[in-house]
Amino acid sequence: MEFGRELAEKALNRALNLGALFAVVRFHANKYELITIDNGFLRQYSYTVAKGMGVEVYTSSGRGYAYTSDLRWESIDKTIERSISIARAASSKNLNVVFEEEAKKIYFKTPVKKDPLSIDPNEKIKLLMDLNKLSLSRAEIASGITNMGIEIDHKLVASSDGGLAESSITGVGISHMAVGKVGISSERVYDSESFIGGYEHIEKYDWEGFISELSKLAVEASKAKTPSPGTYVAVLDNEVIGLFIHEAFGHASEGDLVRSGSSILSGRLGEKIGSEQVTIVDEGLVDGGYPVPFDDECTPKKKTIVVENGVLKKYLTSRIVAAFLNSELTGNARAMNFTYDPIVRQTNFYMEPGDFSLEELFEDVDYGIYLRGRGAMGGQVDPSMGTFTFHVGPSYILRRGELIELVRGVVVSGNILDVLKNVDAVAKDLKIRTSVFGGCGKEGQLVRVGDGGPHIKVRKIIVGGE
């Protein structure tokens, strides 16, 4: 049986007839294709399909969730009965949820001119093989791995209060990792470009330029020194500020961590936690990001202003978390797929642009560092303390406003609130990115997200070198 609105309504009615006070049904189908070229050889061509449904119910006793990959009604009916049994066995005390004032009907579909899964596999392989060979043609490139990712994600969520939401999202992208080697020194640089839409984005993008620039950076970085450890004035590019905001601050704004006391932001609504230059938002539909028009509890995703002019305004919530925090719904209950419970997650988390040009950020830096995100290797964060350590990409020493030296192995660390309080200039050049190759991980679940922001300047940040 194919899932659709009639089946969703039938499942909801069954849950209510069995004693549910409130119910959400979620149908999800995902197709993912991955092609990998490793040093001139086809290493992987995989295609995976996952389809199923989950049902979440609330009874007078508690909450239950169950799922099935069998979309025959007999199996769906048993899944609903199982969720009711789980809820009745939960015996949760004072379990409340927040409801939308008015249930919404939402339909969202990304425009697709060319279905990427219909393109001849040999055409895709040839493109990746040519790009991989282009990278390896540089004498100082020791290794190169090129990937193509394609995803088609279809979701239908309905709630017993009349909410109904459906989306169909197609994403495509290419990634490359180049290893530069000069003498005994080597450096690995990775980057990817992803687009929401069809294969037409693959056809029109300058992939040769992308591969050439990335390979050149890997070679140049392998020749570079590491920076002298110390406290620097720093300009952060769009990717680095996206990494900082999402990882070090965004997770701390998630209401389930606030509820459990595992966030540095707990109990700090209304407090000034950054400079007046800082405004941070979480938004479902934004250029360059991953589309999240609604969450997995059938709540429309609103533009949520988390920080406004340095003041903490809101946390991200789900229905249960909003009730616990006496807050409004923000549409941030998300699940990796139908086999998982929704938990509070970011969507597209970014810093809003300011009024400065990039040149103005550079010009008054007598000595500092320009932190770049291309080739960043991730790091570690502790949302309860607000501390972070990130390995950013090859970056540049700044002297009197000029880029004078490339440095590699750049590690930045500190406390995110200290960084936000030291932001003294925010540029106009907002950029948000997403990826079909990864996403955000939390409690074993990976979801697609977007992050980014404009270039910013901070008065001081701790920098070290590997």
Q: Domain extents for the chain? A: 5-223, 230-465
Instruction: Give the pLDDT of residue 94.
Output: 62
Sign of CA dihedral 292, 239, 353, 430: negative
Q: What are phi and psi of 263, to 5 degrees?
A: -125, 140
Question: Residue 188 to residues 149, 176, 185: CA-CA distances in angstroms?
Answer: 21, 10, 11
Query: pLDDT tens digits for 188-233?
Result: 999 999 999 999 999 999 999 999 999 999 999 999 999 999 999 9
Q: Would you state the structure tokens that stand for residue 395, as one six-digit string?
A: 């970056």
User: What's the pLDDT band for 377 if we cut at 50, 70, 90?
Assistant: confident
Indicate the pairing of strand 440-442 with strand 456-465: unpaired
Q: What are phi and psi of 184, to 5 degrees?
A: -95, 0
DSSP state of 314: -
Does the pLDDT value for residue 1 go beyond 60?
no
Residues 6+ positions from 178 with CB-CB distance below 8 Å: 135, 141, 143, 144, 188, 189, 190, 211, 214, 215, 217, 218
Q: Mean per-residue pLDDT for 337-355?
A: 97
Mean pLDDT of the chain: 95
In CATH, what is the architecture of 5-223? Answer: 2-Layer Sandwich (3.30)
Does the pLDDT value for residue 93 go beyond 80?
no
User: What is d(CA 464, CA 76) in angstroms, rounded to the nearest whole number?
Assistant: 55
Identity of the amino acid at 112 = V
Q: Mean per-residue pLDDT for 367-374?
A: 97
User: What is d(CA 67, CA 62) in angstroms, rounded to the nearest whole number?
Assistant: 17
Q: Mean per-residue pLDDT for 90-106?
A: 75
Indicate the pairing of strand 378-382 with strand 387-391: antiparallel
**Residue 130: exposed, middle, or buried by beta-carbon count in 10 A (0-12, 13-18, 19+)?**
middle
Does the pLDDT value for residue 239 go beyond 90?
yes
Instruction: Give the pLDDT of residue 457.
Output: 97
Q: What are phi and psi of 287, to 5 degrees?
A: -55, 130
Identity of the amino acid at 303 = K
Indicate the pairing of strand 304-308 with strand 311-312: antiparallel
User: What's the pLDDT band for 414 if we cut at 50, 70, 90?
Assistant: very high
Residue holding tokens 């020493």?
397
Name the 3-class secondary structure at 244.
helix
398: left (phi > 0), else alpha (psi -120 to 50), else beta?
beta
Instruction: Give the pLDDT of residue 84.
Output: 96
Strand partners, 316: 254
Query: pLDDT tens digits for 141-197?
Result: 999 999 999 999 999 999 999 999 999 999 999 999 999 999 889 999 999 999 999
| Max Cα–Cα distance, the chain, nearest Å | 73
**Percent of the chain predicted with pLDDT > 90:** 92
